[in-house]
């Protein structure tokens, strides 16, 4: 039985404070956290959550100011590790910064799966298609549109299969820990369906789940019917 590919996640400290660490522990093997070296305090509650990753977490303190500068360090780290680790290792960057996308596209062209997952902002009410929100947001950095290499029948079959597999995973997740907003669900689907994310817009999957009555979306919030 083939092992799942290893997955490295890259994130800066400011984004780390705004996500649910528990969910990331389930989908990554290594967790690289970049933080300004002048940051002297980290909330105890966050420390205890990160501690559960054990050796899988690596804190990287850098002499810089602001999240944009931290993004430059993330880009440098991606390039450095790309030349060191096996190409089967997947790179996931959690960031809302589109400026990273050209580099991520280049890494994909070199044979490594590499995407940027947008950290959802629950104060934003816009839940339109991610295709309209810029290349690389919730899809892979190569900008593959829906359809990809599949014929219509095969595409439909794979779409339904992905929905069924996602439902099986979500069924065993406690209700309070399920993705609450449409962008959260899209990011969850992307992380758990790496290959299919190359060919499908995750927002389309959410709409299909609505059509199948698996979920309802009210005011951008997801209500599960299973």
CATH number at residue 99: 3.40.50.1010
The domain in which residue 63 lies consists of 1-119
> Do the domain assignments include residue 140?
no
- C-alpha 10/C-alpha 75 separation (Å) is 10
How many structural domains compose the chain?
2
What local confidence, expressed as pLDDT, does residue 143 receive? 36
Q: What is the rounded average pLDDT for all residues in the chain?
A: 77
Could you tell me if residue 220 is inside a domain? Answer: yes
**pLDDT given at position 24:** 66
pLDDT above 60 for 129? no
The distance between the two most distant Cα atoms of the chain, rounded to a whole number of Å, is 56
109 has a pLDDT exceeding 80: yes
Question: In this structure, are 86 and 3 located in the same domain?
Answer: yes
Percent composition of the chain: helix, strand, coil (DSSP 3-state, to 5): 45, 15, 40
pLDDT at 68: 61
Residues 7, 112, single domain; the answer is yes
Q: What local confidence, expressed as pLDDT, does residue 23 receive?
A: 63
Residues 4 and 99 in one domain: yes
Q: Are residues 18 and 100 in the same domain?
A: yes
Rounded CA gap, 21 and 19, in Å?
6
Residue 136 has pLDDT above 60, yes or no: no
In a domain, 29, yes or no: yes
Candidates 42, 51, 36; CA nearest to 17 is 42
- Give the span between the Cα atoms of 130 and 204, in whole angstroms: 9
d(CA 194, CA 9) in angstroms, rounded, equals 13
pLDDT of the residue at 209: 95
pLDDT at 84: 93
Query: What is the percent of the chain with per-residue pLDDT over 70, rounded to a whole number?
Result: 77
Q: What is the pLDDT of residue 14?
A: 85
Question: Is 8 in the same domain as 111?
Answer: yes
5 and 114 belong to one structural domain: yes
Question: Global pTM?
Answer: 0.55
Most confident of 22-26, 47-51, 141-145, 170-174: 170-174
**Domain identity same for 95 and 165:** no
Q: For residues 159-179, b (16+ Cβ closer than 10 Å) or e, as one string?
A: beebbeebeeebeeeeeeebb
Which of left, alpha, beta for 83 (phi over 0: left; psi -120 to 50: alpha)? alpha
Q: With bands split at pLDDT 50, 70 and 90, how would you rate the model's confidence at 77?
A: very high
């Amino acid at each position: 039985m083939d092992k799942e590919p290893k997955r490295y996640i890259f994130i800066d400290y400011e984004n780390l404070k705004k996500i649910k660490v528990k969910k990331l522990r389930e989908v990554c093997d290594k967790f690289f956290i970049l933080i300004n070296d002048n940051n002297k305090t980290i909330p105890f509650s966050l420390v205890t959550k990160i501690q559960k990753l054990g050796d899988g977490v690596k804190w990287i303190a850098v002499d810089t100011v602001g999240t944009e500068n931290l993004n430059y360090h993330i880009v440098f780290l991606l390039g450095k590790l790309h030349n060191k680790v096996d190409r089967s290792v997947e790179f996931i960057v959690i960031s809302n910064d589109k400026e990273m996308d050209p580099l991520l596209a280049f890494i994909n062209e070199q044979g490594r799966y590499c995407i940027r997952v947008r950290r959802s902002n629950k104060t934003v009410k816009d839940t339109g298609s991610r295709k309209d929100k810029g290349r690389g947001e919730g899809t892979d950095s190569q900008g593959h549109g829906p359809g990809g290499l599949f014929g219509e029948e095969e595409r439909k079959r794979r779409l339904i299969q992905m929905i069924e597999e996602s439902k099986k995973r979500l069924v065993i997740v406690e209700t309070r820990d399920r993705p609450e907003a449409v962008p959260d669900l899209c990011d969850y689907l992307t992380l758990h369906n790496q290959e299919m994310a190359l060919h499908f817009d995750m927002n389309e999957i959410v709409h299909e789940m609505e059509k199948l009555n698996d979920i309802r979306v009210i005011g951008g919030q997801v209500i599960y019917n299973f």
